[in-house]
Amino acid sequence: MTGSIVSAATFTSPTELDCDVCIVGSGAGGSVLAAGLVEQGLDVVMLEAGSHYTRKDFKGNQPWAFDNMYQERGARATEDLAITVLQGRSVGGSTTINWSTCYRTPDRIFAHWADVHGVKDVSPSMMAPHFDAVERRLNIKEWPVDRANGNNRVLLRGGEKLGWHPHALKRNVRGCMNSGYCGEGCPVDAKQGMAVSYLDDAVRGGLRIVCNCEVERFEWSERKAQAVHGVAVDPDSDHSLGIPVTVRAKVFVNSGGAINGPALFLRSGIEGNGLIGKRTFVHPVSGVSGLYDEHIGPWAGAPQSIGCHHFNDRGPEKMGFFLEAAPLQPMLASTVGFLFGGAHSEFMRKLGNVGVTIALGIDGILPQDVGGTVLLKSDGRVWLRYPIEAHLTECLAAAHKEMARCHFAAGAKQVATLHAEAIVMNSEAELSKLDSAPYGAHEQSLFTAHVMGGCAMGGEAGTSVVNSDLQMWDFDNLFVVDGSVLPTSLGVNPSETIYALAHRARERVAAAV
């Protein structure tokens, strides 16, 4: 039985579909789940707001990619515009445009979830078979150090000199050409995103995908979800075409991601004991650049291939952080800082000799860290409110100093922060300049590509949205399978954790049909 991928934009009249399971969202969670459900013989319909693209569409064109494959055309941000939020919007979700870094969930995070949040049966040993399965299917393997690009070698070289034990990362690629343009979609299908892996499996098995369909709300009564209602949207403008799409199913799954998913529940009047959208975590990211005599070429090669977790645990009262590298294609590079005019032109002129190290804050672990909140504005727009509290500014200050040290250890002749007023240092002796640097909203460039939480799993209905099987506490036939179920951030890139949790959820969701 072969399924299909159709665009709701081609519908000329109201459309109703019936199935066993309806999944909203085609990202990391929904795709792995869908493949398992059709394998068990279930009739599955998947709804996706974005368009369907294939490798023939991917030409390394950054403006086209941001305009077509990113949420809000790459302009999504927190409510105060302090943190840029990069998320995907196409068939395959963020897996089509992510940088392919894969980690298993750290053991200490599993232990924290069990001890603090009451999560049951989600331990390293219980999850190992699911990690094994997705690693086989997605060819998740360590990227050879000798293929690391200049930008990642900066972190490797500096980290080794400082005794931080940086390490090679694992990536979900097969036949990678090492071009570096993962964020614009892979032109050779080497990156094993969902569209060319689990979704391909699922469509071959009968999955029906309706893309360009913006889901507006769940229809529900008492403990049962009965339908999802959406509308066809124009693939070029994302504007509604006014054509309703309704899916009725036995079981429903929200896999819309950790911002759109909670927003869908809120639009539907589903509040989860007031916890929907609460405790949303983002791995807030800051960066420091280094200028080198050698050619770095930060736009070429695997975007991320070296990582460092030396600063994960900085003590019970301090937020930890981990270090990676960020690619600097021209469009992305031109927006990471606050430079204008001649200074901006000079930075871009020297881009070939620039390396950027990034620090990702590990939020949600400290007792005082409640993260952010997904909320709806009166006009229906979705926002993420993410206050930058004192423990985060302390983390940013510490991370900046360590990233600067790393660049000098790696041989940088000049190091600069991404503050509104860049702090420039010409030797390690000038690190003291950072002691008086400001940190907080709009003081320095901040972004994230990791959004987690908002529909957290846990051991009790009063403190979580879903149980450990990812089923909504208040519903018999409604599940959440995406990054929003994570009770805290991970301290590692989240994609593989989501893959594995979705793989585990296959039997649970199927049993509810």
Q: What is the pLDDT of residues 183-225, one digit of tens each?
A: 999 999 999 999 999 999 999 999 999 999 999 999 999 999 9
Mean pLDDT calculated for residue range 453-457: 98
Mean pLDDT calculated for residue range 250-279: 97
Q: Which residue has the tokens 């369909």?
A: 213
Specify the DSSP element, H or E, that contains 29: helix 28-39
Among candidates 21, 15, 29, which has minimal Cα distance to 484? 29
Look at residue 335 and tell me whether its pLDDT is greater than 90.
Answer: no
Q: What is the pLDDT of residues 267-295, one digit of tens each?
A: 999 999 999 999 999 999 999 999 999 99
Q: Where are the domains of the chain?
A: 4-71+88-139+184-272+456-511, 145-173+285-362+389-445
Q: What is d(CA 237, CA 225) in angstroms, rounded to the nearest whole number?
A: 30
Q: In the prediction, which pLDDT does 290 show?
A: 97
Specify the DSSP element, H or E, that contains 202: helix 198-204
Q: In the prediction, which pLDDT does 332 show?
A: 82
Q: In the prediction, which pLDDT does 340 show?
A: 79
3-state secondary structure of 389: coil
Mean pLDDT calculated for residue range 361-368: 96
Instruction: Kindly indicate the confidence band of residue 368, based on its pLDDT and cuts at 50, 70 and 90.
Output: very high
Residue pair 449/439 in contact (Cβ under 8 Å)? The answer is no
Q: What is d(CA 65, CA 75) in angstroms, rounded to the nearest whole number?
A: 12
What rounded mean pLDDT belongs to the chain?
Answer: 96
Q: What is the pLDDT of residues 117-127, one digit of tens each?
A: 999 999 999 99
Residue pair 1/206 in contact (Cβ under 8 Å)? The answer is yes
Q: Which CATH number applies to 4-71+88-139+184-272+456-511? A: 3.50.50.60
Look at residue 338 and tell me whether its pLDDT is greater than 80.
Answer: no
Instruction: Kindly indicate the confidence band of residue 367, based on its pLDDT and cuts at 50, 70 and 90.
Output: very high
Residue type, 446: L
Residue pair 26/92 in contact (Cβ under 8 Å)? The answer is yes
Q: What is the pLDDT of residues 138-177, one digit of tens each?
A: 999 999 999 999 999 999 999 999 999 999 999 999 999 9
Give DSSP secondary structure letters for 98-138.
Answer: S--EE-PPPHHHHHHHHHHH---S-SHHHHHHHHHHHHHHH
**What's this model's pTM, rounded to 2 decimal places?**
0.97
Instruction: Say which CATH architecture domain 145-173+285-362+389-445 belongs to.
Output: 2-Layer Sandwich (3.30)
- The least confident of 304-318, 326-340, 369-383, 414-428 is 326-340
Instruction: Kindly indicate the confidence band of residue 1, based on its pLDDT and cuts at 50, 70 and 90.
Output: confident
Q: What is d(CA 453, CA 486) in angstroms, rounded to the nearest whole number?
A: 5
Q: In the prediction, which pLDDT does 174 show?
A: 98
Look at residue 398 and tell me whether its pLDDT is greater than 90.
Answer: yes
Look at residue 485 and tell me whether its pLDDT is greater than 80.
Answer: yes
CA distances from 239 to 26, 235, 255 (A): 20, 8, 22
Instruction: Kindly indicate the confidence band of residue 234, based on its pLDDT and cuts at 50, 70 and 90.
Output: very high
Specify the DSSP element, H or E, that contains 510: helix 495-511
What percent of the chain clears pLDDT 70, i.e. is strictly above it? Answer: 100
Q: What is the pLDDT of residues 288-323, one digit of tens each?
A: 999 999 999 999 999 999 999 999 999 989 999 999
Q: Tell me how crowded residue 294 is: count the other CB atoms within 10 A of its CB.
A: 14
Look at residue 59 and tell me whether its pLDDT is greater than 80.
Answer: yes
Q: Tell me how crowded residue 488 is: count the other CB atoms within 10 A of its CB.
A: 22
Specify the DSSP element, H or E, that contains 323: strand 321-325
Instruction: Kindly indicate the confidence band of residue 380, based on its pLDDT and cuts at 50, 70 and 90.
Output: confident
Q: In the prediction, which pLDDT does 124 show?
A: 97
Mean pLDDT calculated for residue range 353-376: 96
Q: What is d(CA 101, CA 470) in angstroms, rounded to the nearest whole number?
A: 24
Pair of tokens at residue 282: 């983002």
Q: In the prediction, which pLDDT does 344 show?
A: 79
Q: In the prediction, which pLDDT does 345 show?
A: 87
Q: What is d(CA 154, CA 503) in angstroms, rounded to the nearest whole number?
A: 36
Look at residue 331 and tell me whether its pLDDT is greater than 90.
Answer: no
Q: In the prediction, which pLDDT does 386 show?
A: 98
